[in-house]
Chains A and B, each alone.
Chain A
Amino acid sequence: EAGVTQFPSHSVIEKGQTVTLRCDPISGHDNLYWYRRVMGKEIKFLLHFVKESKQDESGMPNNRFLAERTGGTYSTLKVQPAELEDSGVYFCASSQKTSGETYEQYFGPGTRLTVT
């Protein structure tokens, strides 16, 4: 079974440009999460999709970030315009439909974003 995949693995852009990150969850996983680790900080939650709906976007830092999940399959995270402080590693994770009690989140390898 294929794991969570993310594309690209590394992106270098200039301040003010736009970047789109993609995540393909494990097939059949309804839940999809985005996290990020910016330099020197801890991994932080960004948002959570259940199928195509945003369940929780409390971690999104500002309106320069836009996440979508077309048809409840893959997800994209767009940063427009990118700022220097957006540099870091962006992780995607997925999990099966939860029973409301327990779950395991499977993480992708991350996309390293560098804004210069």
Chain B
Amino acid sequence: DAKTTQPNSMESNEEEPVHLPCNHSTISGTDYIHWYRQLPSQGPEYVIHGLTSNVNNRMASLAIAEDRKSSTLILHRATLRDAAVYYCILSYSGAGSYQLTFGKGTKLSVIP
């Protein structure tokens, strides 16, 4: 499985932008980059995904390096509700399965 590396924790002030980095130097050409987050006492929640180009949706933006060996999840204005563990995941499609391989993720704390 392709691996990702994320900082264990980060802090942000409320209403400021947050940049969550992820390294994935062994990514293959067909791997998608996914971000999920898990709020306390809830199941993981999809945030965004991309392949090569930068992506935007209502929740966040995903900036992907040109060599695809790293990416950054951008929350444009952090709110207290964004405090969660954020997971950067590379897709795995062995034998037609699309299992998600979760790492430890980055625990984001938002300071009021």
Q: Which residues on A are within 8 Å of B, measured CB to CB?
A: 4, 31, 33, 35, 42-45, 48, 50, 55-56, 58-59, 91, 93, 95, 98, 100-110
Which residues on the A side are within 8 Å of B3 (C-beta)? none
Which residues on the A side are within 8 Å of B45 (C-beta)? 107
Q: How far apart are the CA atoms of A106 and B100 in the complex, in Å?
A: 12
Contact B100 A55 (CB under 8 A): no
| Known A45-B101, A102-B32, A104-B49; contact A55-B42, beta-carbon cutoff 8 A | no
One digit per residue, 1 when the CB lies within 8 angstroms of any chain A CB and 0 when it does not, for chain B 32-71 equals 1000100001111110010000000000000000000000
Asked if B7 CB lies within 8 Å of chain A CBs, one says: no
Closest A residue, CB atoms, query B99 = A45
Closest B residue, CB atoms, query A100 = B93
One digit per residue, 1 when the CB lies within 8 angstroms of any chain A CB and 0 when it does not, for chain B 94-111 equals 111111111110000000
Contact B49 A102 (CB under 8 A): yes
A88 to chain B minimum Cβ distance, whole angstroms, is 13
Which residues on the A side are within 8 Å of B94 (C-beta)? 56
A25 to chain B minimum Cβ distance, whole angstroms, is 13
Q: How far apart are the CA atoms of A100 and B43 in the complex, in Å?
A: 24
Q: Pick the contact of B100 from A4, A45, A50 — CB < 8 Å?
A: A45
Closest A residue, CB atoms, query B41 = A109
The interface size bin for chain B is 20 to 34
Which residues on the B side are within 8 Å of A44 (C-beta)? 102
Q: Pick the contact of A43 from B32, B44, B46, B49 — CB < 8 Å?
A: B44
Q: Which residues on B are within 8 Å of A, measured CB to CB?
A: 32, 36, 41-46, 49, 93-104
Q: How far apart are the CA atoms of A38 and B100 in the complex, in Å?
A: 16
Contact A91 B97 (CB under 8 A): no
Q: How far apart are the CA atoms of A4 and B43 in the complex, in Å?
A: 10
Closest A residue, CB atoms, query B42 = A109
Which residues on the B side are within 8 Å of A43 (C-beta)? 44, 100, 102
Which residues on the A side are within 8 Å of B43 (C-beta)? 4, 91, 93, 107-110
Q: How far apart are the CA atoms of A11 and B32 in the complex, in Å?
A: 36
Contact A55 B103 (CB under 8 A): no
Which residues on the A side are within 8 Å of B104 (C-beta)? 42
Q: How far apart are the CA atoms of A103 and B91 in the complex, in Å?
A: 9
